[in-house]
Chains A and B, each alone.
Chain A
Amino acid sequence: MLAYLIRRLFAAAVMLVVIVMVVFGIFFLVPKWAGVDVATSFVGKQADPAAVEAIREKLGLSDPIFQQVWEFFKGIFVGRTYAAGGDVTHCAAPCFGYSFRSEQAIWPVLTDRFPVTLSLALGAAVLWLVFGVAAGVLSALKRGTLWDRTAMVVALGGVSLPIYFTGLLSLAIFSYGLGLIDAQYVPLEDSFSGWFGGMILPWITLAFLYAAMYARITRATMLEILGEDYIRTARAKGLKEQTVIGKHAMRSTMTPILTMLGMDLGALIGGAILTETTFSLPGLGQAVLNAIKNQDLPVILGVTLITSVAVLIANLLVDILYAVIDPRVRLS
Chain B
Amino acid sequence: MTELSKTGAAVGEPTDPTTAGKAFLDVRDLKVHFPTDDGLVKSVDGLTFTLEKGKTLGIVGESGSGKSVTSLGIMGLHTAGQYGKQKARISGEIWLNGTELLSADPDQVRRMRGREMAMIFQDPLSALHPYYTIGQQIVEAYRIHHKVDKKTARKRAIEMLDRVGIPQPDKRVDSYPHEFSGGMRQRAMIAMSLVNNPELLIADEPTTALDVTVQAQILDLIRDLQKEFGSAVIVITHDLGVVAELADDILVMYGGRCVERGPAEKVFYEPRHPYTWGLLGSMPRLDREQQDRLIPVKGSPPSLINIPSGCAFNPRCPYADLPKDNVTRTVRPELTQVGSTHWAACHMSTEQRERIWTEEIAPKL
| A interface with B by C-beta (< 8 Å) | 140-145, 148, 226, 228-241, 244-245, 248, 251-252, 325-328
Contacts and interface: CB of A to CB of B under 8 A. Distances in A.
Nearest to A222: B83
Given A226-B81, A252-B131, A328 B178 contact: yes
Interface in B127-141: 127-133, 140-141
Contacts of B119: 236
B131 A327 contact: yes
Contacts, number: 87
16 contacts: A141-B84, A143-B83, A143-B85, A144-B85, A229-B126, A232-B72, A235-B80, A236-B113, A238-B111, A238-B113, A239-B140, A248-B129, A251-B131, A252-B130, A327-B131, A328-B176
Contacts of B345: none
Leading 7 A-B pairs by shortest Cβ distance? A238-B114, A143-B84, A238-B113, A229-B126, A237-B114, A230-B129, A229-B127
A326 B176 CA distance: 10
Interface in B280-332: none
A57 to B, nearest CB: 61
B112 interface: yes
A145 B113 contact: no
Contact of B84 (A145, A241, A251): A145
Contacts of A236: 75, 77, 113-114, 118-119, 121
B115 to A, nearest CB: 6
Interface of B: 72, 75, 77, 80-81, 83-85, 110-115, 118-119, 121, 123, 126-133, 140-141, 144-145, 176, 178, 192
A143 B81 CA distance: 12
Contacts of B114: 236-239
Contacts of B140: 237, 239
Given A144-B85, A226-B81, A229-B123, A237 B113 contact: yes
Nearest to A251: B131
A232 B83 contact: no
A190 B36 CA distance: 62
A233 B81 contact: no
Contact of A226 (B72, B83, B128, B131): B83
A233 B83 contact: no
A229 B132 CA distance: 14
B83 A238 contact: no
Which of B75, B113, B127 neighbours the largest number of chain A CB atoms within 10 Å of its CB?
A: B127
A327 B176 CA distance: 7
A233 B118 CA distance: 10
A326 B121 CA distance: 23
A142 B140 CA distance: 27
Given A226-B83, A251-B131, A237 B121 contact: no
A172 B132 CA distance: 50
Given A236-B119, A239-B140, A327-B131, A142 B83 contact: yes
A141 B141 CA distance: 24
A252 B132 CA distance: 11
Contacts of B144: 237-239
A328 B132 CA distance: 10
A148 B84 contact: yes
A235 B113 contact: yes
A142 B84 CA distance: 5
B127 A230 contact: yes
A140 B83 contact: yes
Contacts of A245: 81
Given A229-B127, A231-B81, 7 more contacts: A142-B83, A230-B128, A234-B129, A235-B77, A237-B144, A241-B80, A328-B176
Given A142-B83, A148-B84, A238 B115 contact: yes
A232 B118 CA distance: 12
Contacts of A145: 84
B85 A230 contact: no
Contacts of B129: 230, 233-234, 248, 251-252
B77 A232 contact: yes
Contacts of B83: 140-143, 226
B126 A230 contact: yes
Given A140-B83, A141-B83, A143-B85, A237 B141 contact: yes
A232 B121 contact: yes
A240 B110 contact: yes
Contacts of A229: 121, 123, 126-127
Contacts of B128: 230, 233
B189 to A, nearest CB: 8
Contacts of A234: 129
Given A142-B83, A328-B178, A238 B110 contact: yes
A241 B81 contact: yes
A330 B75 CA distance: 36
Which of B77, B113, B131, B145 neighbours the largest number of chain A CB atoms within 10 Å of its CB?
A: B131
Contacts of A144: 84-85
Nearest to B195: A237
Contact of B131 (A142, A143, A240, A325): A325
Nearest to A327: B176
Nearest to B144: A238
Contacts of B141: 237-238
Contacts of A239: 110, 114, 140, 144
A200 B130 CA distance: 40
B108 to A, nearest CB: 11
Contacts of A142: 83-84
A230 B130 contact: yes
Contacts of B110: 238-240
A237 B129 CA distance: 12
B111 A327 contact: no
B299 to A, nearest CB: 30
B297 to A, nearest CB: 29
Given A144-B85, A145-B84, A238 B131 contact: no
B126 A235 contact: no
B131 A326 contact: yes
Contacts of B192: 237
Nearest to B106: A241
A323 B140 CA distance: 23
B234 to A, nearest CB: 14
B89 to A, nearest CB: 18
